Amino acid sequence: MRLDKFIAENTELTRSQATKALRSGLISVNGTIQKSGATQVTEPDQIMFDDELLPWVEENLYFMFHKPVDVVCDHDDANYPSVYQFFAPPYAQKLHTAGRLDADTTGLVLLTNDGQWSHRITSPKHHCEKTYLVTLADPVESYYQQRCLEGILLRGEKQPTKPAKLEVLDDYNVNLTLSEGRYHQVKRMFAALGNKVVGLHRWKIGNLVLDEELAEGEYRPLSPQEIEDLVHE
């Protein structure tokens, strides 16, 4: 297998990003820096990316996980448990998240070892929508829907948010659908509207809805159809 293909399949890097990483001297094979993506690698070659050993994976893995509160999407965190701690050891070191959630946000997280697939979900150019149930400190105002559709200028940024869809459920709860993923975007949008988010739960990515049978902290494999639908909407 070509080295650049191996990197793209086993990290979140695209093929072009893998090429840049190689040229930057971030990739080594059996202790030797390699800068050519055409280098052939086979198991059990030891391939390191930025001082991290990349495992050889026999098959692509895709999971839906119901993230509890106070759990992070990092492999290591001094303050909170990680989503990876909920997975058996053979999986934990092979997976990465296709999009993160903050520690205080619950709901749908996708985990995979397929870097190309996760890139299609997280890349802004593919516009994969994410839907959140948002609970607010103060009542919903009538102008919120229009402001979300028009785009909201967030503090410290020069460009407004892309149009977002807001569905009012009751005085304090809304569904918000985004096609981009800026830093703390949902919280910052409502802060710009003069409100405060007190509860945040992601329940949908693309057309994939969080399985109601999954309790917090549980996961299940995605079906072949679910895997395909997420990248071919």
Per-residue confidence (pLDDT) for residue 58, from 0 to 100: 65
Question: Are the C-beta atoms of residues 112 and 65 closer than 8 Å to each other?
Answer: no
What are phi and psi for residue 47, nearest 5 degrees? Answer: -110, 125
What are phi and psi for residue 115, nearest 5 degrees? Answer: -65, -35
Per-residue confidence (pLDDT) for residue 217, from 0 to 100: 98
Among residues 51, 70, 76, 102, the one annotated as catalytic is 102
Per-residue confidence (pLDDT) for residue 159, from 0 to 100: 96
Q: Specify whether 77 is catalytic.
A: no
The low-confidence residues of the chain, meaning pLDDT below 50, are none
Here the tokens at position 122 are 């997280």
Question: Are the C-beta atoms of residues 36 and 3 closer than 8 Å to each other?
Answer: yes
Could you give the domains of the chain? 1-52 (3.10.290.10), 60-122+206-228 (3.30.70.580), 128-203 (3.30.70.1560)
Per-residue confidence (pLDDT) for residue 57, from 0 to 100: 64
Q: Report which of 218, 223, 226 is spatially closest to residue 109, judged by C-alpha positions.
A: 218
Question: Are the C-beta atoms of residues 47 and 29 closer than 8 Å to each other?
Answer: yes
